[in-house]
Amino acid sequence: KVEVKESGGDLVQPGGSLRLSCTTSGITFERYSMAWFRQAPGKEREGVICLSWDGESTYYADYAKGRFTISRDNGKDTLSLEMNDLKPEDTAMYFCAASGYYSGGDRCPSADFPFWGQGTQVTVSS
């Protein structure tokens, strides 16, 4: 059974930082492409940063460039998302997702990721 679990969501003030973590089990983590998505109320789920399994391709949403960083630890089967200079519009439920076939590129469709966590809430507010 594949399990994906996020943690680290919190209430943070504008301009602050937050680190989200994702743990997985039931997959050969190093062979899987991993991604962070987010979904705000009333909006569609969107790819934030999507990393191909071989590290050759990383997709960044425009708002993530320069503020968000993704990292993976294949030894611990974990994925992290470091978010800096957070803005109220970053408020959303953040999801970690895994895919055995996402190959990277200039898109990151949620349909390419079959395995999902339950999400962790990030709220940016003063």
Residue 86 burial (10 A CB sphere; 0-12, 13-18, 19+): buried
Residue pLDDT, tens place only, 72-125 = 999 999 999 999 999 999 999 999 999 998 988 889 999 999 999 999 999 999
pLDDT digits (tens, 9 = 90+) for 33-66: 999 999 999 999 999 999 999 888 899 999 999 9
DSSP 105: S
Number of other CB atoms surrounding residue 77 within 10 Å: 18
In degrees and rounded to multiples of 5, residue 30 shows phi and psi of -65, -15
State how far Cα 9 lies from the chain centre.
12
Of 1, 7, 4, nearest to 77 by C-alpha is 4
